[in-house]
Amino acid sequence: MSSVHPLHRVAIAGVAATEMARQLDTTSAEVSLRAALAALDDAGLTVADIDGVAARWPGPGGTVFQPGPADWAEVFGRPLRWVGDTYPQGVPGVLDAAAAVAAGLCETALVFGGQAGVMGGAGVADYTRPDNEFIACWGSLTAAQFALVAQVYRHRFAPDLERVAAIAAAIRTAGSNNPAAVMAGRGPYTAADVLASPMVAEPFRLLDLCLATEGAAAMVITTAERARDLVQPPVAILGGGAEWHRQQYVNPPRYDEVWGLGADAAHRAFELAELGPQDVDVFEFYDINTYEVVRQFEMLGLCAEGEGADYLWEAGIGVDGRHPLNTDGGLLSYSHIGWGGPTLKVVEAVRQIRGTAGPGQVADAEVALVTGAGAGAQYHNAMILGRG
């Protein structure tokens, strides 16, 4: 027993994503609740089975006090043994809940979030407009912070722009083929389509950048032992790690500090999994923009710094490529839902391991790599999922 790593005693037993759209006629609380209940249903559980929750409280009602999960305890009508409010989504959300489950603080945790009824109107999503006094006064936006990093990369390595654009085209074509994607049926896309789209913040054009949409996503984390008795095949957490470089969107990110961000987290994740990047069958990368995809393949060491676009052009990132990537259409084309976007990556990876991912299913996918955040945000995280 002592030889089993704590994370390996935990599994993902249920996942769910609601419908995704540019705008949903509901509230963040309601759409989040729908995702939460659907993930429990996916696992064959009910709210009576949970004793841990990690979720922001989006209101209305509740209180100004943290943590938000205490407000959810009221909605679920039951006391909780563990709550997580630090980063209740994506890779950190799974790892925090898994640590709580492995330590016996709770047995079954629900991690969920999303947004609805908040998008629309002029300008960009409010969470893409950092409000720090040394950022906001210049009219910066999150895409521009990432652009400052990508511009140094371009200056040093002059990547082939068509091959960079081809990455966005491939991910967006996967989204076009995914009926659940916000951009379903809008493709297929070519690199020329990406290069013809309007410039937003150099070097990013509109089709290089992720969506800001509405919907919610949820995950059920429990012991591997309990997961084996539930309706879905358990998905194992083979390894994971995170890096927090500094607070995002305060100081501008510097290429030399952040282009390799995530390498340590990924290294520790692979070490724990006793696997390497070459063993990954499907990549669910945080594709907040095209250059972040290039960066992550270079950061993993699958190719040299400066060679990512050429490498992926040759390797292929479609379902039949050597490195199937963002098989649901990713943040670029499927959806990006505020405090739920990172969770969508886990949802798709779990479905890939189960073999139920739909048109983006990679044949016999056994090992999935999920990442979150990126260079411009100055933190990154990675998790490897496999068959439980």
Partner 1 sequence: MDGPTGELEDRSLRPLTGEFWAAVDREELVRPVCGDCGRSFFVPQFACPRCQSTNWAYEPSSGRGRVHSHTTVHRPPTPAFTAPYVLADVDVEEGWHLLTWIVDCEPDQVAIDMPVTVKFVTGPDGHRLPAFAPDGAAR
Where do we find the tokens 């002029």? 122
Least Cα distance to 219 among 101, 53, 8 occurs for: 53
Q: Does 197 bind partner 1 (CB under 8 A)?
A: no
233 upstream amide cis, omega within 30 of 0 = no
Nearer residue to partner 1 within complex by CB, 61 or 198: 198
Q: How many residues bind partner 1 (CB under 8 A)?
A: 32
Return the residue of 6, 104, 134, 228 that touches partner 1, per CB under 8 A.
134
- The answer to the question of residue 251 lying near partner 1 (CB under 8 A) is yes
Rounded distance, CA 90 to CA 218, Å? Answer: 9
List 102, 109, 141, 191, residue binding partner 1 (CB under 8 A): 141
Residue placing its CB nearer to partner 1 in the complex, 26 or 251 = 251
144 sits near partner 1 (criterion: CB under 8 A): yes
Residue 265-304 contact track with partner 1, rule CB under 8 A, x = bound? ----------------------------------------
Query: 258 with 249: CB under 8 angstroms?
Result: no
Report the candidate in 375, 277, 374 with the shortest Cα–Cα distance to residue 323.
Answer: 277
Under rule CB under 8 A, residue 179 binds partner 1 = no
Q: Verify binding: residue 124, partner 1, rule CB under 8 A.
A: yes
User: Does position 80 bind partner 1 by CB under 8 A?
Assistant: no
- Judged by CB under 8 A, the residue of 198, 320, 363, 364 near partner 1 is 198
Q: What 3-state class would DSSP assign to 166?
A: helix
CB of 159 to partner 1, least distance (A): 15
Cα 365 to Cα 286: distance, rounded to the nearest angstrom: 19
Exposure pattern of 21-55 as b/e (b: 16+ CB <10 Å)?
eeebebbbbbbbbbbbbbbbebbebeeebbbbbbb
Which residue in the set 1, 64, 122, 363 belongs to the binding site for partner 1 (CB under 8 A)? 122
Q: What whole-number distance in Å separates Cα of residue 368 and Cα of residue 96?
A: 19
240/263 Cα distance (integer angstroms): 12
Structure tokens at 3: 């030889």
- Residue 322 identity (one-letter amino acid): R
One of 109, 201, 230, 273 touching partner 1 (CB under 8 A): 201
| Nearer residue to partner 1 within complex by CB, 94 or 149 | 149
**What's the distance, Cα to Cα, between the start and end of the chain in Å?**
17
Using the contact rule CB under 8 A, the part of the chain among 120-128, 180-188, 288-296, 356-364 near partner 1 is 120-128
Report the nearest approach of partner 1 to the CB of residue 252 (Å): 4
Residue 14, phi then psi, degrees to nearest 5: -155, 145
The Cα 365–Cα 279 span in angstroms is 10
Binding residue for partner 1 (CB under 8 A) from 60, 65, 120, 155? 155
Query: Which is closer to partner 1, CB of 63 or CB of 132?
Result: 132
Q: In this structure, what are the phi and psi dihedrals at residue 298, rounded to the nearest 5 degrees?
A: -70, -40
**Distance between CA atoms of residues 123 and 51, nearest Å:** 40
Residue 200 found at the interface with partner 1 (CB under 8 A) = yes
Beta strands 379-387; 235-244: pairing state: antiparallel
- Minimum Å gap between C-beta 247 and partner 1 is 10
Residue 129 touches partner 1, criterion: CB under 8 A: yes
Closer residue to partner 1, CB minimum distance, 26 or 151: 151
**Distance in angstroms (rounded) separating the CA atoms of residues 333 and 175:** 5
Does 263 engage in binding with partner 1 (CB under 8 A)? no
Residue 121 binds partner 1 (CB under 8 A)? no
Closest to partner 1 by CB, 109 vs 258, is 258
Residues that bind partner 1 in the complex, under the rule CB under 8 A? 122-124, 128-129, 132-135, 137-141, 144, 147-149, 151-152, 155, 198-203, 250-252, 254-255
